[in-house]
Structure 1
Amino acid sequence: MVRVLMDEVVETDYGQLDLWFSDDAEDDGDIEATFSGQVNGVAGAAVPGWIYLNLGRRSGGSAVRIEAHDGVIPCGAEWEDVVEVSTVVGEQGDCGWTSWAGESGGRFVLPPGPHRVRVCARGRDAGDADELADGTVDFYLVQLWPAPVEADAILRVGSRNAAYWHETWGSSR
């Protein structure tokens, strides 16, 4: 069963979209700490209860959909770039998302405990090439399901943009 937690075009800046999984989770702005020990450079999950999503488009609107699932599901072939990370949802189950500088955001609820988070993307290169393009050019699907914590993983790299960020912020820094 799928539960849609958010589905909208997010206006952001600096290509940053943050997901938080506890009311007391905080990002101190240390980007290197966010990706510490990870191989991927797209979804920084090294700060407990916080995931920094690095979008392809620096500014403007990016389509983002967040889904909760009961368990792992197959990854669609339409997605060029796919990574997975883990997080732990706090006792209250309070979670949410916010764009850079809190320009927009929302809340959702998940069952407490460890979750796997898959971030799928397409159009990262188009978003990187023309951040001022009319309309939406990059698309993101975030899928969450209860699962034990495990190391992050790069499942698919199809864009130059994701490859760049994996090399820049990932590679087990």
Structure 2
Amino acid sequence: MTRLLFDGVVRTDYGQFDLVWGEGAGFDGDFDRFFANQVNGLVGAAAPGGLYLHFARRSGGSRLTIRRTDAAPPLPAPRYEDIVEVSVVIPAGARVGWTSWAGETSGQLDGLPGGSYRVRVSAHGRDAGHAGEFADGIVDEYLVEMWPAPVGEDAIVRTGSSDAEYWHRDVGGRR
């Protein structure tokens, strides 16, 4: 069974988008803390209390879909050029929310109980998002899929954009 948790356009600044469930969680600029012991440079899962996603677009709106599934879904279509997977543990009873840089936009994600999850983040249009970082309209799109799974190491599943290659090289590789 798949449950849609969010589907819409989120406005970000500095490409920052966080899923948060802990006090004071959210990206604070410390890449070493959020990407410690990871190989990918797009989704920071090392800091407790949240998950940091780096969108390619500097400012503006990006399409975002977040789904919870009962088991690992098949990989998305090849149009999603970049895919990474990480693991998170959400404490029992925690309220999961989302926020952009400095709390400019935020909301709650209902239907995500505590537990250990595998999180797959797939991106379409990272190069267009980087090139059109201040463009009008939507130029990049993200799909976040979460399912119950034991904790495991992060993985780069697919890299097809120059932007993702840059972030994997510059921020990833902290293992």
Question: Could you state the TM-score of these two structures normalised by the residue count of structure 2?
Answer: 0.94
Q: Structure 2: which amino acid aligns with 1:117?
A: V
Which shows bigger deviation, 109-118 or 39-48? 109-118
Q: Secondary structure at the match of 2:53?
A: strand
Distance 1:37 1:23, change over 3 A: closer
1:131, CA displacement in angstroms? 1.2
In structure 1, stretches of 5+ residues that fail to align are none
Q: What percent of counterpart residues are identical?
A: 53
Q: Secondary structure at the match of 2:48?
A: coil
Does 2:146 align with 1:144?
yes
Q: Secondary structure at the match of 1:131?
A: coil
1-structure distance, mates of 2:104, 2:146:
24
Write out per-residue CA displacement over residues 45-100 of structure 1, whole angstroms, 9 at most, x where no aligned residue.
00023111010101111111111101101011221000000001111141111011
Are the aligned partners of 2:58 and 2:134 in contact in 1 as well (CA < 8 Å)? Answer: no
2-structure distance, mates of 1:85, 1:28:
16
Which shows bigger deviation, 107-116 or 140-149? 107-116
1-structure distance, mates of 2:152, 2:126:
26
4+ runs of 1 displaced by more than 3 Å?
A: none
Task: From 115, 118, 136, give the equivalent of 1:116.
Answer: 118
Q: Could you tell me which residue of structure 2 aligns to residue 81 of structure 1?
A: 82
Q: Could you tell me which residue of structure 2 aligns to residue 46 of structure 1?
A: 46
Q: Could you tell me which residue of structure 2 aligns to residue 63 of structure 1?
A: 63
Write out per-residue CA displacement over residues 109-156 of structure 1, whole angstroms, 9 at most, x where no aligned residue.
312111000000010000100112221000000000110000000000
Aligned pairs for 1:130-141 (under 5 A) are 130-141=132-143
**Corresponding pairs, count:** 172
Which shows bigger deviation, 101-110 or 155-164? 101-110
In structure 2, stretches of 5+ residues that fail to align are none
Are the aligned partners of 1:42 and 1:162 in contact in 2 as well (CA < 8 Å)? Answer: yes
Are the aligned partners of 2:39 and 2:168 in contact in 1 as well (CA < 8 Å)? Answer: yes
1-structure distance, mates of 2:27, 2:6:
25
Question: Could you state the TM-score of these two structures normalised by the residue count of structure 1?
Answer: 0.95
Q: Structure 1: which amino acid aligns with 2:66?
A: I
Are the aligned partners of 2:60 and 2:136 in contact in 1 as well (CA < 8 Å)? Answer: no
